[in-house]
Copies of this chain bind each other. A is one copy, B any other.
Amino acid sequence: MADKAGGRRGRRAQGQGAEARPDEPILTRERIAATAVDMLDAKGLDGLTMRGLAEALGSGVMSLYWHVENKEAVFDLALDTVLEYRGPTALQDWRGDIVHVLEDWRATMLRHPWSALLLPRRALGPNILVRLERLSACLSAGGVADVDVNAAIWSLWNYVMGATVTRASFGPSDADREASQERLAELGTLYPSIGRSGLLLDDDWDGTFRRGLDFLLDGIAPKR
A binding-site residues for B, Cβ under 8 Å: 117, 120-124, 126, 129-130, 132-133, 136-137, 140, 146, 148-155, 157-163, 165-166, 168-169, 175-176, 179-180, 183, 187, 190-194, 197-200, 202, 208, 211-220
Give Cα A194 to B219, complex, Å: 21
List chain B residues, Cβ under 8 A from A155: 159, 211-213, 215-216
A67 CB, nearest partner CB in chain B, Å = 20
The 4 closest A-B pairs by CB, nearest first: A155-B212, A158-B162, A162-B162, A161-B162
**Could you tell me if B123 and A179 are in contact, using CB atoms closer than 8 angstroms?**
yes
**Could you tell me if A166 and B159 are in contact, using CB atoms closer than 8 angstroms?**
no
Count of this chain's copies in the oligomeric assembly: 2
Which partner residue on chain B sits nearest A168 by CB separation? B120
List chain B residues, Cβ under 8 A from A123: 175-176, 179-180
**Could you tell me if A215 and B216 are in contact, using CB atoms closer than 8 angstroms?**
yes
Which of B121, B151, B157, B214 lies in contact with A162, CB distance below 8 A?
Answer: B157
**Could you tell me if A219 and B215 are in contact, using CB atoms closer than 8 angstroms?**
yes
Assuming the contacts A121-B169, A179-B123, asked whether A212 and B136 have C-beta atoms less than 8 A apart, the reply is: no
